[in-house]
Each structure stands twice: as structure tokens, then as C-alpha cells.
Chains A and B, each alone.
Chain A
Amino acid sequence: MKVFLSKNGLLIGLIAIFIGIFAIGGFYSRYVADQHAVLVLKAQQEQQEARQEATRVATYLALFSEATRAEKYIATTVTKTYNLSGNRGVFSPTIIDSYHIYNDDMEVGVVYVVGSKGHNEGLNIAYAIDFATDACIGVVVVAQAETPAIYGTLDAAWFNQFDNILLDASSIEIDAVAEATESSKGFEIGLLYAREVYAVESDFEIPANGISLVSMTYNYDPTSFATAVFIANVTHGSEGMTASVFLSRTYDYIGMADDSAALTIDEQTALKTLAAASGLVSNKSWFVSYNADTRVLVMNAKGFKATPIVVTITLNTTLDGIEGIPIITSTETYDNGDYDGGPAPEVEYNLLNQYLADGNFVVDGVADATITSNAMKQLIYLLDHFIITLTGDE
């Protein structure tokens, strides 16, 4: 072995080095090439995105009569929620891109690319707003994932309605295409949201919503009164449309009580404020449930304590009166212990017995138990009118 190595060691050594360079060099080359390939791919993607961006910006500039360049910037974040069509819930659009539009050095407008939702999310629309007129002067659909056959019904004539939409109109509605209501609604949501952002970033003011509260009543319908405590009659929109609206105990919008179109979020917010301040109804007492088979009616009344007073009443077979003794569950302490009489539900039964005695919902309150008395008065009022609606008597 020693002789062999002494004769051929150099040769073997050189061959071993050569093979080592071949093998290690191969791995190293492959590593370097792979790293480079990733970089090349990234560069190609960036270049492609840059080209697409340049093409998009060119289409945005074309919407303006005189625009020479666009400058990308980050728009102010605005959080707004809008109702989707077809009771599909709500959606909060976002700004994907935003551009200042210039004619040489003079800024002439802005373009907001809004991520909206039609039938599907991913409906990205660019809205061009002209500073001179505070109007939307055109749209460009950047991306969409709508059903092709349905989205295809939105033709050029439909898109023309975006060519001059004044943003200072009290109400903005986009004409929907019958077969593409959800997609159409997506465009409307995007435009309203663009208007919101525009108002935040400029001195443009969105006009106040045209909604007014005409009247409010209690909801006596057992199928809905558990959640929709009130019915508000309103007029709204630029044309003063009338509508009936379900409201919750806290005056939140539940839904429409008639066939009218749903209120916008802004109108809902405005209505809550109006309803809460109107004093037309009281939310001290409300219906919980009614079982038509057993004629058992459950009601709550908010007295002094946080835990409401629960009153369970069984109506008689003719539904014009009460059968048996109502069951009252109460943890009231009657004006924080000022009442000298017995523990709850003494006051509650006092008022209820007054009603049962003469059938008159106007009952006398109990001294030193004012809050509880007022709650029970409201409950008795509702009970009386519920019975009336069941019997149809006035």
C-alpha cells in the first residue's frame, strides 16, 4: 500500500481534488444559481407589476380632461360599514390605492381605488373625483371576481352613469341592473365610501341625511316583538319616501317593517338618535314571549335594579282578560330601600291588582317605590294594549 501510494499518491491526490472541485463546485454553483433564480423571478414580477401599474395609472389619467401625471399616496383610513343587498349583512370597504392627479403642478383631482363587495369580495373599483366639481367623473374596474355571466350585464351604458355624479347630493343611489343587483350595489358602496374618504381628506362636506321621524309605536306582534320592540314611521331620502322601521329596545335598527328599501347605515344611525330623543315611547317595559297555545305571555319591566322584573301572565280563553294570578319575579329594592312596606314583589302586585280590579291601565303608583311603579305602569299599558290587539277591540 505504501509503495502504491508513493508511486501514485500524487495522481490520486490530484484526481481526488479534481473530483472534489467538481462535486462541491457543482453544489455551490447550484446554490448560487437558485438564489439568483429567486431574484430573477422577483424582478420579473416587480417589472410586470410596474407595467400593470403604469397601464392602470394611464387609464386613471384618461378619466380627467386635463391630467398629466399621477402621484401615489396613502389615503386616510376611514371605517364605515354598509348594508349589502339581499340581507347579506354588512361590509366595510377599504382603500387599496390612492392617487393625487395633477395637471403639471396643479392638483386637479384624486383617484381612490376602493375594495368593495358585490356578489363576492374583490370588487376593486377606481373612482375618479374632480376637485372643481366635487363629482365622480368616472370609474375603472381594477379587479372583480363576480359571476361572469351576471357581471357581463353591466354594459357601457350602465357605467356611463358614473361620468358625473355630484357627491354633494343628499342621497346617492346607483341604478342597479336587475340581473346584477349585488354587483351594482358593490359599485354604490364603493362610491359612498370614496365620498367618505374624500370628505375626510378635503374640505368637502357630505350633506346631512334626509331622515325624519314621523311617529313611533309599540310592536304588538308576538312573532317579532321579542326583538323589534318599536315600530318607527319615517320619511327619508331625497324624495321623502315613507317607511316603517323595526327598532330594538335600545332604538337600534332591526329591519324594515314594510316593503321599503332598507335604510342606509347613516340613516339608521340618525334614526336611533331621533328615536331615543323623541320621547314618543318608553323602553321601560317590553314583551319577551307569547305562546298562543298556552296563552302565556311573558313580559319584562326595568325597575330600580339592573335585573328586570319578570311578569308571567296567562290570558283567559277568550283572550280578553287574565286568568289566574300573574307570576311576578322581582329583585327590586324600591328606591334603594326607602319603601317601608314588604319586600318585592309587593309593589308590583299592588299595581297589577289595580289593573285587574277595574281593567283600567291607568294605575296609581306606590310612594317610595316610584321607579318600580313607573316600570309597572308601562308594563300594564303594554299588557292592556296587547290584549286589545288580540281581541281587536279599541
Chain B
Amino acid sequence: MARFANGKAPFLRKADEKTYGTQVIMRDFLIGLLPLIGFAWYKNGIKVYIEGNATFLEMFYPIIFIILGGIISMIIEGLFFIITDKEIRSFKSLMNRLSLSYAMIPGILLAMILPLYTPIWVLIFGCIMATLVAKLLFGGFGYNIFNPALIGYAAIAFTLMGVINRAGGALNGSEVLVDAIAGATPLSTLSTTNVLSYQTLVAPYGSLWNFFIGTIPGALAETSALACIISFVWLSARKVIKWFVPVIYIGTVFILSWLIGIISGQTGIWFPTYSILSGGLMFGAIFMATEPVTTPKNPLGKMVFALFLGVFTVLFRFVGQYPEGVATSIIFMNIFSMPIDKWTGVIRTEGVTKKTIIKIVILVILIIAIAAYALFKASSIYTATIELPLIMRGWN
């Protein structure tokens, strides 16, 4: 009889521990972050310094910021363990405990999704929310319900975004000098317009190629789709993440965006491409939606989770006109990870039966209903730039 483990992920055979232990997973995960960190440093530090729009010290700010995020979250966890665990009294025992808790990860991820000019004290606040509130108070690594980095980000976004904007916001030293940039980020531009026009949404930032490379304004390390794809290939090859989760998530957003474009009169392929390349969708799909602790465990559950993420992201972005659609949808769906896991686990093991058909129908109806609602509402909000046909142009 098959046995199924029902505890906290990740699950690994003891025999695989040396070649495939959690330490290896986290090592590979951090390696996967390197392309994004490297690009963030180049785009917001080195390139700006070379162009003469930043001082030598400013050039290092992106990399210092990211490293500090990891260090701060480690210190917060260290303090927590020292205070709460009487057995930790030496530096060695503390470091051992921290390595098992993967303390740096929330801070590093949080720093990577924050704007460039986030003050350090805001980062500290975010790390406290991410590490202490979202992770440790729930029981620590493996027991948290919500993605810690996203909780930290949400806490900052809801309370201190004005502070960040006054300190400089997301535009680096070279981006502030570009006259054509309409909004601070492409999604903030989308949130202020009802017209789905290439000239409004893409042209101010160059072309879709700029979106792909990542040379557009945005958070510190999440703008480059190319770097995200490189990380995706590495993480998928190393089996750190399931490849289909980001594919389904991004694919859902692509298809729904395309449909919104068609309904609104914008039939170009550029619009869904813009949708998946802007904001933190690629980053969120690869690094957040695949997080093993806060997402469903079984493959079917992951697929359903990814579908819901895609639908909710489109709903929040286009209907709610809220730039933080990815973060909000992932946090929201974290709440339902366990029910989705249970339902899909049953469906997967028992197949389509009288008992499971209701669950299947409910899930399908929910996905379709939310998607339909998003499409319906978005069609009434957005229009495309309409070109008069040639025959009509002389009439006015």
C-alpha cells in the first residue's frame, strides 16, 4: 500500500541528502539568484556610474542593499533564537541553527523586490516583518503559511512607500534623466491609463526588447526577464523548482492579457508580451510561486495554484489597476495552499470519481468565473487606440 507523507515540505530521501539535501537546494537556489543580482548591480550601479550619473560609492549601493537584506534577516533570526532557545549560547551553535533555517533568504529576496532607493531602515522594518512576523512567529522554516519576503514587501508597500518615493523611488541615476519616461514603472503607467496603446505603455521605455533585457524602471532586481529565464533554466535543471509552475502562471497571464487586448480592440501580440515582461511577474513566478513551504506540494496542486495565481494577477492588475498584482495574488493564494493541496491530493490519488467530481467542478468554475469576471470588467475599463480606416480620414 502506498504511503504518503503529510508533513511539511521539502521531502527528501536520506540517501539523497549529500547530493540533494536541503543545503544543496538552497545553494542552487542562491546560485539561481546570481544572474538577477548581477544584472541589478550592473543596471543600477555599474552602468549608472559609467554614464557619470552616480558616484563611486553609489555604484555599490545595489549590491550592498541586497547583501544587507540577507545579513539583517540573519541577525533578526539570530536574536530570536538566542532569546527563545536556551540551548544556543555559542556562535557556532547559532550559525548551525541559522543555516538550517535558511535565514538569509527572506532578506535577500525582499531586498531584490524593493525599489533602489529604499532607505536601510525601511529594509530593516521589512526584514522584521518578513523574518520575525511571517516566518518565526509561525514556527520558523517549514511552518510559515505566507511567503516571508512578500509579507515584508506588503508591509512596506502599504505603510512606507511614500518614504521610499521621497528618498528617490525606483528610478536610478540614468533613468531620471530620460525625458520620455511617463511613470516611475511600466505598471504604474498602466494603472493611470485606460488606453492600451503601444505609444503609452511601451514606447516611453524604449521597446519590448528593453523589457526583455530589463533596462526599464522597476524594483531592484526583478526587471530582467532574460536573467529570470536564465535562473529558471538553472533551477529547473537542478530540480529546485517544478518547471511547469512558472510556465502555467506566466502562460495564464499571457492568454488572459491577450484576450483583454482583443476585447478592448488591441489585437497586437505586443500587449500580452508587455504584460508578462513588466512588473515582477517573471520573478514572482520563478522564485515565489515555487516556494516549497507555502505552496501546494503535489504536482496537480501546484498546477491549480499556478492557474489561480495567473487569474488573480490579471484581476488585480487590470481590474483593480493595482501595480502590485503579483505580490498580492501570491500572498492571497498562500492562504489556500493547504486546501488546494488537500483537494488535489485526493483528486490525484482517487482520480475522477463521484467524490472528487464536485471538487474538480468547484475548482474549474472558480478559475473560469474569476477569469471571466476579470475579462468582463477589464473590457469596460480599457480601450485600444482606434485607427480610422483610410476611407474615413478625410471626413473631419
Contact = CB atoms under 8 A, between A and B. Distances in A.
B61 A25 contact: no
10 nearest A-B pairs in the assembled complex, by CB-CB distance: A25-B120, A36-B168, A33-B167, A29-B119, A29-B120, A43-B176, A43-B177, A11-B82, A40-B176, A33-B168
B338 interface: no
A9 to B, nearest CB: 9
Q: Is the interface of B mostly helix, strand, loop or mixed?
A: helix
Given A32-B61, A33-B168, A22 B124 contact: yes
B31 interface: no
Contacts, number: 79
Contacts of B171: 40
B124 A10 contact: no
Contacts of A18: 72, 75-76, 79
Interface string B54-73: 11011001001000100110
A39 interface: yes
B173 interface: yes
A390 interface: no
Contacts of B68: 21, 25
Nearest to A27: B120
B61 to A, nearest CB: 5
Nearest to A36: B168
Nearest to B124: A22
A33 B117 CA distance: 7
Q: Is the interface of A mostly helix, strand, loop or mixed?
A: helix
Nearest to A31: B57
A208 B179 CA distance: 50
Given A22-B121, A25-B120, A26-B120, A10 B57 contact: no
Nearest to B121: A26
Given A10-B89, A25-B68, 13 more contacts: A10-B82, A10-B91, A21-B120, A28-B61, A29-B117, A29-B120, A31-B57, A32-B117, A33-B119, A36-B58, A39-B53, A39-B176, A46-B177
B94 interface: yes
B75 to A, nearest CB: 5
Nearest to B71: A21
B119 A26 contact: yes
Contacts of A50: 179
B78 interface: yes
Contacts of A37: 168
A35 B176 CA distance: 12
Interface residues of B, number: 35
B94 A10 contact: yes
Interface string A174-185: 000000000000
A3 to B, nearest CB: 12
B90 interface: yes
A10 to B, nearest CB: 6
Given A10-B82, A11-B82, A31-B57, A40 B168 contact: yes
A17 interface: yes
B168 A14 contact: no
B83 interface: yes
A47 B176 CA distance: 10
A7 interface: yes
A25 B79 contact: no
A248 to B, nearest CB: 57
A28 B68 CA distance: 12
B79 A14 contact: yes
A15 interface: yes
15 contacts: A10-B88, A10-B94, A14-B82, A26-B120, A26-B121, A29-B118, A30-B119, A32-B168, A33-B119, A35-B54, A36-B167, A36-B173, A39-B177, A40-B171, A40-B176
